[in-house]
Amino acid sequence: AALDLGIKTNILRCLEARDCYIKVFPYNTSFEELKAFNPDGYFLSNGPGDPDPLKEVQEVTRQILKTDTPVFGICLGHQMIALANGISTYKMFNGHRGINHPVKNTITNKGEITSQNHSFAIKEDSITDCIEVTHRNLLDNTIEGLRHKEHPVFCVQYHPESAAGPEDSMYLFNDFLNLITEFKGGQDA
């Protein structure tokens, strides 16, 4: 189930290329309607603007997280996951724009060249104990990725689906499918 907050078509292509059946729901879809689809995973898309006023989406995200179903968020979806976990966001003085932003994966210690287009970031001092930082921007040390320590939830601020652009981060779509496979007890997603 993909919650469309301004989704890019190439995200859907990346999921479809991995044999996912995707149903896209409008941003204002209720949790009950999303849940009725009985998805193996939830995807929270990118989108424009300030994440803070999107209180209804934040609440739907909180409800999604309670299901313990795999969740992957990109850009605004990343910010929704943060806000749903009590982590604050802020407007950056200069946002990140372009396709040459170096990001370090703090889990693998590998660098990625990423595509970015956002004006808001995660406040580091508001990160809760149940959340782990997984990616950092090497230009300004802002947080570029998070994962939940107890639930199958992760997200990134940048755009792994960028085309044409760097493909360093395409593995994130595979990571999402691996979470779904684990969630389903080893059965293919």
Catalytic status, residue 159: yes
Catalytic status, residue 118: no
Tell me the C-alpha to C-alpha distance, in Å, between residue 109 and each of 78, 87, 138, 145, 152: 21, 24, 12, 13, 21
Catalytic residue, candidates 20, 75, 78, 135: 75
Catalytic status, residue 32: no
Q: Which residues of 41-61 are buried (b: 16+ CB within 10 A; e: fewer)?
A: bbbbbbbeeebeebeebbebb
Catalytic residue, candidates 96, 135, 148, 159: 159
In degrees and rounded to multiples of 5, residue 117 shows phi and psi of: -160, 80
Catalytic residue, candidates 20, 135, 144, 161: 161
Measured in whole angstroms, the distance separating CA 63 from the mean position of its chain's CA atoms is 16
Active site residues: 75, 159, 161
